[in-house]
């Protein structure tokens, strides 16, 4: 077994949520009277910490209005949350992979958001540990992965990161960890491949095939 611990991003990797998240970013900007970012820019910031997200998606927003944006975003997100579903085949993949590997989550979600997602999907028991953006330094900083290594006593060569954004892949590279990309989430295949993952997969089935052969 090559990897002792496999770390998954959540939004755009496990949960089919990027289009909803981008729409929430756009709606929040419009509500606050800001320029509404194009879908590509709204999608690019998915996976970043909330302050970095606001700086890029809403550059005209004054720092003292950040709480207003956060409140608007959370309201729009909660309104769409119940409609978000796991990607087809994801539950079966996690069930299969956890038979041979420990699993963890590294996500830009808040802890409260991840706990709600665990409750909604019933996946809490699949993961030995998790890190959220409001608990440590957000992606692409390597803190999440470094902390998971320490908590679970795993060396970099024993960890694999799976994500749908360049932020996930840059985090893995900074931590000295192998990474896989999925192109069915927030970022384009070209942008993901530019970060040098071991593989880039267009669907859950091809990801599962790689993990069976190389995990």
Could you give the number of structural domains in the chain? 2
The secondary structure of 3-23 as a DSSP string is -SEEEE-SBTTTEE-HHHHHH
Mean pLDDT of 64-86: 92
- Express each pLDDT in 149-173 by its tens digit: 999 999 999 999 999 999 999 999 9
Mean pLDDT of 66-90: 93
Q: Which domain holds residue 41?
A: 18-81
DSSP 138: P
Indicate if 144 and 188 belong to the same structural domain. Answer: yes
Mean pLDDT of 89-112: 96
Cis bond before residue 140 (omega within 30° of 0): yes
Indicate if 107 and 180 belong to the same structural domain. Answer: yes
Indicate if 43 and 109 belong to the same structural domain. Answer: no
Report if pTM > 0.85: yes
Mean pLDDT of 111-138: 96
Any idea what the CATH number is for the domain that residue 41 is in? 1.10.150
Indicate if 68 and 158 belong to the same structural domain. Answer: no
Distance CA 146, CA 151 (A): 9
Indicate if 59 and 98 belong to the same structural domain. Answer: no
Residue 114 CA to chain centroid, in angstroms?
Answer: 11
| Domain's final residue, options 53, 81, 109 | 81
Indicate if 29 and 69 belong to the same structural domain. Answer: yes
- Express each pLDDT in 133-143 by its tens digit: 999 999 999 99
Residue-level pLDDT at 12: 95
Any idea what the CATH number is for the domain that residue 133 is in? 3.40.50.1000
Q: Which residues contact 212 (CB under 8 A, 6 or more apart)?
A: 96
Asked if the model's pLDDT at residue 184 lies above 80, the reply is yes
In this structure, the chain runs to a length of: 215
**Beta-bridge partners for 200:** 181
Which residues are tagged catalytic? 9
Indicate if 12 and 117 belong to the same structural domain. Answer: yes
Taking alpha carbons only, the member of 12, 35, 1, 211 closest to residue 107 is: 12
- Express each pLDDT in 2-60 by its tens digit: 899 999 999 999 999 999 999 999 999 999 999 999 998 899 999 888 888 898 999 99
Indicate if 39 and 136 belong to the same structural domain. Answer: no
Indicate if 150 and 63 belong to the same structural domain. Answer: no
| Domain's final residue, options 32, 59, 81 | 81
Distance CA 203, CA 183 (A): 8
Asked if the model's pLDDT at residue 215 lies above 90, the reply is no
Asked if the model's pLDDT at residue 1 lies above 70, the reply is no
Indicate if 69 and 155 belong to the same structural domain. Answer: no
Residue-level pLDDT at 82: 83
């Amino acid at each position: 077994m090559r990897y002792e611990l496999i770390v998954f991003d959540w939004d755009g990797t496990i949960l089919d949520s990027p289009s909803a998240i981008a729409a929430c970013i756009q709606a929040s900007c419009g509500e606050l009277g800001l320029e509404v970012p194009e879908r590509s820019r709204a999608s690019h910031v998915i996976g970043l910490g909330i302050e970095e997200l606001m700086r890029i998606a809403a550059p005209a927003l004054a720092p003292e209005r950040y709480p207003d944006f956060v409140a608007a975003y959370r309201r729009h997100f909660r309104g769409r949350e119940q409609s978000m579903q796991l990607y087809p085949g994801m539950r079966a993949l996690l069930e299969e992979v956890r038979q041979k590997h420990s699993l963890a989550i590294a996500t830009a979600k808040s802890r409260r958001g991840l706990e709600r997602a665990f409750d909604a999907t019933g996946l809490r028991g699949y993961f030995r540990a998790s890190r959220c953006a409001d608990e440590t330094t957000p992606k692409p900083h390597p803190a999440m992965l470094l902390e998971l290594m320490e908590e679970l006593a795993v060396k970099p060569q024993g960890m694999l990161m799976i994500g749908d954004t360049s932020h996930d892949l840059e985090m893995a590279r900074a931590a000295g960890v192998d990474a896989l990309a999925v192109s069915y989430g927030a970022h384009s295949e070209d942008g993901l491949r530019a970060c040098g993952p071991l593989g880039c997969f267009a669907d859950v089935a091809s990801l599962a095939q790689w993990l069976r052969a190389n995990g």
